Amino acid sequence: MEDWKSTYRLLTHCKHFFHRRLNPNFHNSKPFCTSGSRYHCSQPSELVKPYIGNYQQEFQTFKHLPVSLGTNPWNRCRNQYRCFASQATIIQRRPDFSTVSSEDLSYFKNILGERGVVQDEETLDAVNTDWMRKYKGTSKLMLQPRTAEEVSQILKYCNSRCLAVVPQGGNTGLVGGSVPAFDEVIVSTSHMNKIISFDKVSGILVCEAGCILENLIAFLDNQGFVMPLDLGAKGSCQIGGNVSTNAGGLRLLRYGSLHGSVLGLEVVLANGTVLDMLGTLRKDNTGYDLKHLFIGSEGSLGIVTKVSIFTPPKLSSVNVCFLACKDYASCLVIMVLPSEV
Ligand SMILES: Cc1cc2nc3c(=O)[nH]c(=O)nc-3n(C[C@H](O)[C@H](O)[C@H](O)COP(=O)(O)OP(=O)(O)OC[C@H]3O[C@@H](n4cnc5c(N)ncnc54)[C@H](O)[C@@H]3O)c2cc1C
């Protein structure tokens, strides 16, 4: 019941947010236009109009709400001066975000132990840099929780201390979403890597968010099943990261997107509430299907801690052929052919 109350609050919050953002009269209303969520031009005195009318951007601005979960890939423009909308923009660190203190470190060590609190420079350098080496943060702290309960305690505490947080999986995302923009605390899911259950009758796999995709593919292969997702980063990317980016990959045309194959999620919201949506039913009509909000939301709404996914049986044989099409119309014919065989 509590979960649903939290969800209701989340949705109400979204509704108010969009209302304000889409209503030009609310341009400068608090709390959504605090200095951190304003985008500054190369001339600091000139402010970019906050309302641009782009859904993608409106949604991404969630990441600048007081409890910042994740960081906005579209906003990592400070080094490259890429266009955010119609004008080149640079983001500023929000002054109301705290910096990590020794008391914070003691708190984190208390819940995660010394091993779950990473401050070593070499490791931090790697997790502050994205896969393309285009974006670099300056985080001084990475936390490695092992359970949803620990994630919940971390987020609740960061929320109360106004410490910004960025979730990180395998750090293979290509848009800089997994690395800090400034000195955010990195919450890594890499220690949450257990397979919880696999049902051979239904083909449903339940696992923790930090499971590496390649390990899941190998596990399922041994069971006679196929992971409906495969991509070049499989040796490093994690299923929680895949879900959070709504990754497509090589098997998308055959098995569909993660919105179809993911059956349930467990997610921790920014205030520490654990939302248990970890259903394992292929047909589930019980109310709102909230997991879809989290698929592809890049950690802006919460940290995914568990995933339940439908996996089809392994094919008895695979034949690969290379076809040369003379025009687009013949490509379309080929797309239709397999379903007729
Ligand atoms: C070689 C290569 C090939 C690729 N091929 C494809 C492809 O074919 N198709 C495709 O769609 N993509 C592809 N990608 C990009 C792909 O989206 C990512 O590789 C992968 O899905 C990200 O997973 P990750 O664990 O590395 O996430 P990260 O890079 O760590 O994070 C990605 C985003 O998700 C957030 N996040 C991570 N974990 C969580 C979590 N548990 N809860 C909430 N938020 C979280 C992060 O904050 C960040 O915003 C490729 C990347 C590479 C390097």
DSSP string computed for 106-166: HHHHHHH-GGGEE--HHHHHHHTB-TTS--B-----EE--SSHHHHHHHHHHHHHHT--EE
pLDDT at 34: 26
Q: Which atom of ligand 1 is nearest to the CA of 69?
A: 47
Q: Which atom of ligand 1 is nearest to the CA of 239?
A: 25
Residue located nearest, by CA, to atom 44 of ligand 1 = 299
Against a cut of 0.85, is the pTM above it? no
Q: 176 in the Ramachandran plot: left (φ > 0), alpha (ψ -120 to 50) or beta?
A: left
pLDDT at 5: 67
pLDDT at 83: 41
For ligand 1, say whether the CB of 233 is within 6 Å of any of its atoms. yes
Q: Mean pLDDT in runs of 10 for the chain (341 residues)?
A: 62 52 38 28 34 39 44 42 50 94 98 97 97 95 98 98 98 96 97 98 98 98 97 98 97 94 98 96 92 97 98 92 92 84 67
Q: Does domain 2-188 have CATH number 3.40.228.10?
A: no
For ligand 1, say whether the CB of 173 is within 6 Å of any of its atoms. yes
At residue 118's C-alpha, the angle toward residues 171 and 166, to 5°, is: 45
In the chain, where the domains are located: 2-188, 195-310
For ligand 1, say whether the CB of 60 is within 6 Å of any of its atoms. no
For residue 172, what is the DSSP state? -
Q: Which atom of ligand 1 is nearest to the CA of 131?
A: 53
For residue 320, count other CB atoms closer than 10 A to its CB: 4
Cα torsion 25, 294, 268, 140 to 10°: value is: -80
3-state secondary structure of 64: helix
pLDDT at 340: 74
Domain topology for 195-310: 3.30.465
Q: Which atom of ligand 1 is nearest to the CA of 132?
A: 53
Residues 6+ positions from 315 with CB-CB distance below 8 Å: 226
pLDDT at 251: 94
For ligand 1, say whether the CB of 240 is within 6 Å of any of its atoms. yes
For ligand 1, say whether the CB of 57 is within 6 Å of any of its atoms. no
For ligand 1, say whether the CB of 132 is within 6 Å of any of its atoms. no
Please name every residue paired with 40 in a beta bridge, in sequence order, or none if there are none: 47, 90
pLDDT at 3: 59
